[in-house]
Amino acid sequence: MTDTFRLDLETIRERARQHMDEGPVTSTYSADRDTILKLLNDALATELVCTLRYKRHYFMAKGINSEAVADEFAQHAAEEQQHADQLAQRIVQLGGSPDFAPAGLASRAHSEYVEGETLTEMIRENLVAERIAIDTYREIVKYIGDKDPTTRRIFEEILAVEEEHADDMADLLEERA
């Protein structure tokens, strides 16, 4: 027995003409949009806090071999900002508003903004933050499942970069031991 794939184009075309003000969100979107928007905005806050922490660490890095570590911090800051931009864009696509309000940023973020005094403390705090992002993004990916493949894919792509960041920070910590 062969499973045959068929599209009901007439129905799809008819549905496409309904609720056009919702843009890419069609009647087959099965996720709870309010929950997805909250998850995206909380992740946006997380990425913004990480960007700010990495930027501070870039400027505050001092000591032997600090230049290479500072360069790593700067690269990670840029990548975290890219993640924030991706998340904000997806929020808008889903009909939401990205929450960039500074007042609640820290309370909405998964990770904390910890300054660190020494280069080793900065590296350690960045590793902790990356590990928090990894775990929370994995949970979000599991929750979303097949209900919103585009948002899930965005989180999966960001998760892969966060894992690279954690690996980089772990390597830097090991070099300093």
**Residue 83 marked in a binding site:** yes
Residue 159: both structure tokens together = 């998760």
**Residue 157 marked in a binding site:** no
**Residue 47 marked in a binding site:** yes
Q: Are 53 and 74 within 8 A, CB to CB? A: no
Which of the 8 DSSP states describes residue 20? G
Q: Are 46 and 111 within 8 A, CB to CB? A: yes
> Half-sphere exposure of 122 toward its Cβ, with a 13 Å CA cutoff?
22
Radius of gyration of the CA atoms of the chain, in A: 20
**């999966």: which residue's tokens?**
156
**Residue 165 marked in a binding site:** yes
**Residue 10 marked in a binding site:** no
Helices (H), 17-148: 33-60, 66-93, 105-108, 119-144
| Sequence ranges of the binding site for Fe cation | 47, 83, 130, 162, 165
| Sequence ranges of the binding site | 47, 83, 130, 162, 165
